[in-house]
Amino acid sequence: MKKIKEIVNKNSFATTVYPILFGVLIVVLWQTQILHKILGADTFTLPMPSRIFDIILANTDSIWTNVVATLIVAIGGLIVGSALGFMLGVLATFAPKWGAGGLTVIAAFNAIPIIAIAPIANNLTKDLSDNPEIRSMIAKMIVVTLTCMVPMSINVNRGMTELKPFSLDLMKSYAAENRTVFFKLRLPNSVPYIFTALRVSVPVCVISALVSEYFAEFIIGVGRQIRENIVLAQYATAWAYITVACAIGIILYIILLIAEGITLKGRK
């Protein structure tokens, strides 16, 4: 608790309170329908916050089932993708000649739209399991993995190679082995870069999980519910799931910030 308090204190008043105040302002404008007038929307396509929260409260069980399904995909893909990205980043460090080029090619993965990978991943995983729930979970995870791998590999590679001036020379003057250089210099140096990568990939993992659910064989997940409800013109319910999706993204990001604060405490 103490640690968390310190972190909160460290983040200045302005960076936490102002965003919250802004959020509250939006909700107030929304509930008082001033927002509707500004946007030219009606309460049908943009229902009141109170109605949205009523729906969330009345459907906690089914929402929770969908949230769990989305979280498994998002976090599973984030872990696998980050691990793969880390390994690629390290690999590129030890083979710098083709490493830089290789990472550029991998970075091109990020340019492939999720909506293009998702159906391909579905087809690739058709024979993996007789249970559509499992094979479509794997398909969705592949999509998240691909999108999370790229930021990690590039940032880890930078963390491993952009060292403090002369630090590598110093290690060499000690006749340090490559292993020692890796564990004592490169790895600690790359930790802040890992968090930079995670700041990109945590929101991305949620978004790609939501979008990949659109195309999955097995019908489950927050993203799928958003799509179903919008097509059925159930906007209030769709907004309820959009709110839940936002909450997932924000909570994961806050967890990341706290973890970053604890890990990097006293670094700067």
Partner 1 sequence: MKVNAMLKIKKLGILFLVCAMVLSVFAGCTAKTSTEAAPTATAAATEAPAVVEGPYYSADMTAEQIVVDAASQGKVGNWGLGNEYEIQALLSKYGQDTTYLSQAFDMDGFDDDSILLASAMTYNELGLVKNSYDGGYGYGDTVSYIDMNDEGVAMLEDNIFCTKTFAEANPNTVKAFIAASMKGWAYACANPEEAAEIVYSYGSSVSSEHQAYMAGEVKKLVETDTAGNTVTVYGKMDTAAMQQTLDLAKTYIKLDDAVAADALAGFELSNIMDSTYWDAAMADGAVLGTPEKTDVTIQLKWLPQAQFMGYYVALAKGYYDEVGLNVTITPGGGDISETTAVYSGQVDFGVTWVSNLIAANAGGMDLIEVAQVFQRSGLVLVYKLND
Interface residues with partner 1 (CB under 8 A) are 44-45, 51, 54-55, 58-59, 62, 97-98, 101-102, 105-106, 119, 122-128, 130-132, 142, 215-219, 227-237, 240
Token pair recorded at residue 217? 């064989």
Of 14 and 127, CB closest to partner 1:
127
Region at 175 (left for phi over 0; alpha for psi -120 to 50; beta for the rest): left
Residue closest to 99 by CA, chosen among 82, 81, 87, 112? 87
Of 38 and 175, CB closest to partner 1:
38
Of 68 and 128, CB closest to partner 1:
128
Q: In the bound complex, what is the minimum distance in angstroms from residue 35's beta carbon to partner 1?
A: 17
Q: In the bound complex, what is the minimum distance in angstroms from residue 206's beta carbon to partner 1?
A: 20
Q: In the bound complex, what is the minimum distance in angstroms from residue 237's beta carbon to partner 1?
A: 5
Neighbours of 71 (CB within 10 A): 18
Which helix (H) or strand (E) element contains residue 3? helix 2-10
Of 17 and 57, CB closest to partner 1:
57
Distance, in Å, from the CA atom of 25 to the CA atom of 157, rounded to the nearest integer, reads: 42
Residue closest to 214 by CA, chosen among 70, 22, 91, 33? 70
Q: In the bound complex, what is the minimum distance in angstroms from residue 98's beta carbon to partner 1?
A: 4
